[in-house]
Chains A and B, each alone.
Chain A
Amino acid sequence: MRRSSPRLLSLAIAAPPLAIIIWLFFIPFLSSVHLSFLRDGQWTLRNYYLVWRLYKFDVLYTLGLSVVSLILVIGIAVLLCGYLRIVGHRAVEFLFKVPLFVPFVVVGHGMRVLLAPRGTLNSALAQVGLIDLADPPSIAFGWGGIVVSLVWKNLALAVLLVLGAYRAVDEAFLEAARNVGASTFRQITDILLPMAAPSLVVASAFMFTSMLASFSIPLMIGSGEPPQMLMVDVYYRINYQDDLGTANALGMVSYLLAMGVAGYYLRTITAKAA
């Protein structure tokens, strides 16, 4: 079936969806790059200077939260999936798929209700006397709430991908290890983890970019005060200061951060697709 297609027909099929992506993603992306160098109609680096002056800690904060969340997600997924692969536990496996289908905004709101100073978690803990009612601790409205929410949401995807990779490992390897007395933990670290490493790297790359670019979760469960995650900064900069230049310069920082990671992701995906 490898023959050339009628050119006009394939053009007619490919053009409309391509036009939409180019019009509403490719061109806005270029205009974002362009506007980041523009202030009052002049070419300048002032926007980047403002980013450096006002937002350098926010960049670090965003990177830090993403790294911490990613380490937690991958760490938990590696061990949990090992248990699910070697021992098996259908109820737990099903439960960890649930967050896949829970939208980000719902995660944000659910965590607000659960983790707020007067949220359901503190209320439950207070009943067993674990916390001081006069001064309830708050996990929400700060970095803790953001990390918990990002981990909760991303863990589902990580479990799915890692478990898929683990399931592809031949049972014979695990059996051989068991025969020489390897514990479940050793089977994970010495067999499953090394053999699943490539898909683990792809999953991490994808999740890291999505954490860097997360918007609704930090918007809903963040503290509302600096430092903020980058996407929230972009949104506030436009909504409250109407400052497209600095907002786009912040956007550029996020593109550059994502690019290193995305470059790897793109290479693997296109290599598979070609």
Chain B
Amino acid sequence: MRDTSPAAQDLWRASLRMAGTVLASFVILAPLSSLVIWSFTQKWFWPHPFPQEMGLFYWRKVLEGDLFRALHSGFLIAVIVTALTLVLTVPLAYLLARYPIPLKAVILLIFLLPHAFPQLPVFVNATTLLYRANLAAKLSGVVLIHLVGALVYAVWTMTAVFKSIPESLEEAAINLGASRAKTFFSVALPLATPGIVASTLLVFLYSLDEFTGTLLVGSPFVLTLPVYMYRTSVGYELQVASIAALILMLPGIALLVLLERYMKSEYLSMFGRL
């Protein structure tokens, strides 16, 4: 392309970019748009290119039944998990970021374990423990198993958040005679709020999307949306599963669109682990 005119080169570049956009859209959106089509399908005989009959029949049916219950309990669990995680980790993260507490390396290592080892076989044994404590197949058991992952995410992101705040601001407050508690609440905490919000959303989404632990601990009584979606999908209730999948995706996509410009990429990268 070296010896063609600049105009032809521009045209060539523009069409390459177009092709790139189309290809990327296809790769990313093909599985997702299949879900949209299936959620509205009422009749679809192979090998027709489009469903013969489309409508809101399954949406209506689904929102009255089990899906709504699954959505409700999943949401409740996510709210409880997020609230507990915040209360438990904000002080700990501050402690880890600022104070030379004993056994710090060991504590950080313990909080890395759930990331370093495959979760499923460990959660199988955790389920046995929860059964012994009479907590399995209950909402409280599912909350506890969600807390394992949630605490790990929250401790690591929030420690990073507190570390990113310059210590000198807190030193200034202390030099002016503020107590440690006051320094934490009126200097460190307000400065850390954006990072804490990002981490909180991450924890909420983690709990909403958690599958492995919920399947093992919650069965057969606690139903959240991912487990419900899995059961309907392998049971070939394709419409129901697709609707559940779309609803399950909504909070994440909304977050992506809303927070893309505010979130630092290191927080964003945590979402890949859901």
Contact = CB atoms under 8 A, between A and B. Distances in A.
B209 A113 contact: no
Given A21-B113, A266-B116, A109 B229 contact: yes
Interface stretch (A53-61, A151-159, A189-197): A151-159
Given A17-B155, A213-B118, A113 B31 contact: yes
**Chain B contact residues: over half helix, strand or loop, or mixed?**
helix
Contacts of A270: 105, 108-109, 112
A258 interface: yes
A100 B145 CA distance: 22
A110 B34 contact: yes
B185 interface: no
Contacts of B125: 28-29, 31-32, 35, 248
Contact of A231 (B109, B118, B272): B118
A212 B117 CA distance: 10
A10 B94 CA distance: 10
Contact of A29 (B122, B234, B266): B122
Interface of A: 1-5, 10, 13-14, 16-18, 20-29, 31-32, 35, 83, 89, 91-92, 94-114, 118-124, 126-127, 133, 136, 152-154, 156-157, 160-161, 164, 209-210, 212-213, 215-216, 219-220, 230-231, 234-235, 238, 244, 247-248, 250-251, 254-255, 258-259, 262, 265-266, 269-270, 273-274
B189 interface: no
B248 A29 contact: no
Interface stretch (B21-29, B52-60, B64-72, B190-198): B21-29
Interface residues of B, number: 92
A100 B256 contact: yes
29 contacts: A3-B99, A14-B92, A20-B88, A21-B152, A28-B128, A32-B121, A32-B122, A95-B29, A96-B24, A101-B274, A104-B274, A105-B245, A106-B35, A109-B242, A110-B35, A114-B34, A118-B47, A122-B47, A154-B272, A210-B273, A215-B120, A231-B121, A234-B120, A247-B124, A251-B118, A259-B117, A270-B109, A270-B112, A273-B108
**Chain A contact residues: over half helix, strand or loop, or mixed?**
helix
B101 interface: yes
Contacts of A113: 31, 34-35, 38, 238, 242
A110 B34 CA distance: 7
Contacts of B48: 123
